[in-house]
Structure 1
Amino acid sequence: MVYTISTAFAIYFVVWWIVLFLTLPFGVRSQHEDGEGAPGTDPGAPVATLMGRKLIWTTIISAVFFAAAWLAYDAGYLNVDRLSRLMGMPF
């Protein structure tokens, strides 16, 4: 099976979103932790989310993970026969 461009983009898109949700909690400080807070807001609301930094890190981490997975697939480590034998399922 050969990757097509659309398949590669779809897989990268899914990996990117998963990594984004994993990186969202890092570096977020709540109003309660910071000691600041506007009246009438939830004390657990974030002060600064640093989304620009998180988007850049998400893209970098996703690219590294996707490249490693692609290289493993091309080397033959990620194929259906090998993975089904590894999990004990007959193919």
Structure 2
Amino acid sequence: MSVTFSIAVYFMIWWIVLFAVLPFGRSRSQEETGNVVPGSEASAPDRPRFLRVFVLTTILASLIFGGFYWLRTSGMSLDDIPFLRPPSAR
């Protein structure tokens, strides 16, 4: 597996995980806290905590990519999974 391919796959996994992680946690809106900044939407988060989201995303994406890399380099294929073989090949 080339370095370019690995970087591209990690980048795609990271973005998918980011959108899965964004709704985690209790985020109060500016309207709920009573601190609406002029020029922003009242439903915008009061404290978005982006650093926490990016760190959690990076950790989860690294674990998922590690599993992908292991499967890719282990030589395992779909033929190794018994219930996916056609009946004639069993």
TM-score (norm 1): 0.71
Q: How far off its partner does 1:26 sit?
A: 2.0
RMSD over aligned Cα atoms = 2.6
**Cα pair distance change 1:8/1:87, threshold 3 Å:** farther
Q: How far off its partner does 1:82 sit?
A: 6.1
**Cα pair distance change 1:86/1:64, threshold 3 Å:** same
**Cα pair distance change 1:87/1:32, threshold 3 Å:** farther
Q: How far off its partner does 1:75 sit?
A: 2.3
Q: How far off its partner does 1:11 sit?
A: 0.3
- Relative CO higher for 1 or 2, CA cutoff 8 Å, sep ≥ 6? 2
C-alpha separation in 2, matches of 1:52 and 1:59: 11
Indicate yes or no: 2:55 matched with 1:56.
Answer: yes
- Tell me, yes or no, if the aligned pair for 2:36 and 2:42 is still in contact at 8 Å: yes
Identity of aligned residues (%): 36
C-alpha separation in 2, matches of 1:26 and 1:52: 13
TM-score (norm 2): 0.72
In structure 2, the residue matched to 1:46 is: 45
Which protein is bigger by CA-based radius of gyration? 2
Q: How far off its partner does 1:25 sit?
A: 1.9
Q: Which moved more, 1:52-61 or 1:19-28?
A: 19-28
Q: How far off its partner does 1:81 sit?
A: 5.7
1:1-91 correspondence runs (5 A): 3-27=1-25, 28-38=27-37, 41-77=40-76, 79=77, 86=84
Q: Which moved more, 1:20-29 or 1:63-72?
A: 20-29
Residue identity opposite 2:21 in structure 1: T
Give unpaired runs (5+ residues) of structure 2: none
